[in-house]
Amino acid sequence: DVKVTQSSRYLVKRTGEKVFLECVQDMDHENMFWYRQDPGLGLRLIYFSYDVKMKEKGDIPEGYSVSREKKERFSLILESASTNQTSMYLCASSFESSYNEQFFGPGTRLTVL
């Protein structure tokens, strides 16, 4: 059974803080993705990665960066958190090609005060 885990379910940070969101998958998937989900806007892709040390910008990369040092781990970094980054963050992974099913983690609800 595929498992995607995220480091925290709930996180509260202050404006200007550096925030790390961690995601780990146990199925040896090549692809990993970070989305944010907001009411009325749906899921929006922030960054994705096809391989270790590789990253590609999604639709809304501004204010975020990512790191993929190991195949199973994909980190999302908010260099200086802002209130408009308050959201639900979802990590996903899949085998090669987006034509394959994406498996999502449980999400991290981040609140920036």
Partner 1 sequence: RKEVEQDPGPFNVPEGATVAFNCTYSNSASQSFFWYRQDCRKEPKLLMSVYSSGNEDGRFTAQLNRASQYISLLIRDSKLSDSATYLCVVVNNAGNMLTFGGGTRLMVKP
For residue 47, the minimal CB distance to partner 1 (Å) is: 11
In the bound state with partner 1, the residue whose beta carbon lies nearer, of 45 and 77, is 45
The footprint of partner 1 (CB under 8 A) covers 35, 40-45, 48, 50, 56, 58-59, 90, 97-99, 101-102, 104-107
For residue 15, the minimal CB distance to partner 1 (Å) is: 26
For residue 22, the minimal CB distance to partner 1 (Å) is: 16
In the bound state with partner 1, the residue whose beta carbon lies nearer, of 42 and 84, is 42
In the bound state with partner 1, the residue whose beta carbon lies nearer, of 39 and 84, is 39
In the bound state with partner 1, the residue whose beta carbon lies nearer, of 36 and 112, is 36
For residues 66 and 31, the answer to whether their CB atoms sit within 8 Å is: no
Q: Please write down the long-range contacts of 93-100, taking CB distance under 8 Å and 24 or more positions apart.
A: 93/2, 93/4, 93/23, 93/25, 93/27, 93/29, 93/31, 93/32, 93/33, 94/29, 94/30, 94/31, 94/33, 95/29, 95/30, 95/31, 96/30, 96/31, 96/50, 97/31, 98/31, 100/31
